Amino acid sequence: MDNQVKLSWLINPQAKQVEIYRQGKPVEVLDSPTQLSGEEILLGFILDLGIVWN
């Protein structure tokens, strides 16, 4: 990833799919996850995807 970004999410509400980009790692694709974690980058942060999918 460019610009030293350590974690990013690409959320597709129509497909209910999330692509997770982490620095130095392959892209992870999730189908219909219920939540996303900020992992070690944003400790304690949880995004509830129920509000996005509805």
In the chain, how many domains are there? 1
pTM confidence score: 0.87
pLDDT tens digit sequence for 10-34: 999 999 999 999 999 999 999 999 9
Identify the pLDDT of residue 54: 87
pLDDT at 45 over 80: yes
Mean pLDDT taken over the chain: 94
**DSSP assignment of 1-54:** -GGG--EEEEEETTTTEEEEEETTS--EEEES-SEEE-TTTSTT-EEETHHHH-
Residues 4 and 38: beta-carbon distance below 8 Å: no
State the first-to-last Cα distance of the chain, in angstroms, to the nearest integer. Answer: 30
Identify the pLDDT of residue 4: 86
Range of the domain at 9: 2-53
